[in-house]
Amino acid sequence: MTEDKFALWLRQQLEVNKMKQVRLAEALGVTPSTVSNWLKGKFHPSDDNLELLSVLFKKDIPSLYGLLGRIEPDAEPSPLSPETESIVRLLESIPTGPIRRAALMAAREVLLAFVKLLDSEANDRAA
């Protein structure tokens, strides 16, 4: 039986970046068992998590889909505001390493807090 190409790539990325499965799970907002299942080839990440992995490990989306034996969906990317594009460019400019990982995790936390705030405001308006 051949090893899952995505699982092999992800394992290599964790080793090269000296990242533990638990830290990757925290950064992506998934459980450690989810990451473990990806590494075993039992399951594959969602499209959203593939995008996060592509940014985190500097791997283009079409290549990740190729590792999964899939073709990238033809969905039009949602337009980003100029401010968001600036933030993405800034994050992409940080070299791979502990500072990049910390910046990506901090950016993710800010985005999650913002989403929770928007959800809270939407719930308040609906009530």
Q: What is the pLDDT of residue 80?
A: 59
Instruction: Please give the mean pLDDT across all residues of the chain.
Output: 80
* Burial zone of 45 (CB within 10 Å; 0-12 exposed, 13-18 middle, 19+ buried): buried
Is it the case that residue 74 has pLDDT exceeding 70?
no
Residue 1 confidence (pLDDT): 45
Question: Which CATH number does 1-77 carry?
Answer: 1.10.260.40
Distance of alpha carbon 92 from alpha carbon 111, whole angstroms: 16
* 81 or 92, which is more confident: 92
Provide the pLDDT for residue 39: 95
pLDDT-derived band at 73, boundaries 50, 70, 90:
low
The 10s digit of each residue's pLDDT in 8-66 is 999 999 999 898 999 898 888 889 999 999 999 999 998 888 888 988 888 888 888 88
Whole-number Cα distances in Å, 79 to 65, 76, 83: 22, 9, 11
pLDDT tens for 89-99 read 777 777 777 77
Closest CA to 9 of 120, 17, 83: 17
Domain ranges of the chain: 1-77, 79-127
Amino acid at 98: P
Q: Model confidence over 94-114: pLDDT tens digits?
A: 777 777 777 777 777 777 676
Joined together, the tokens standing for residue 25 give 């799970």
DSSP state of 78: P
Cα(8)–Cα(121) distance, integer angstroms: 42
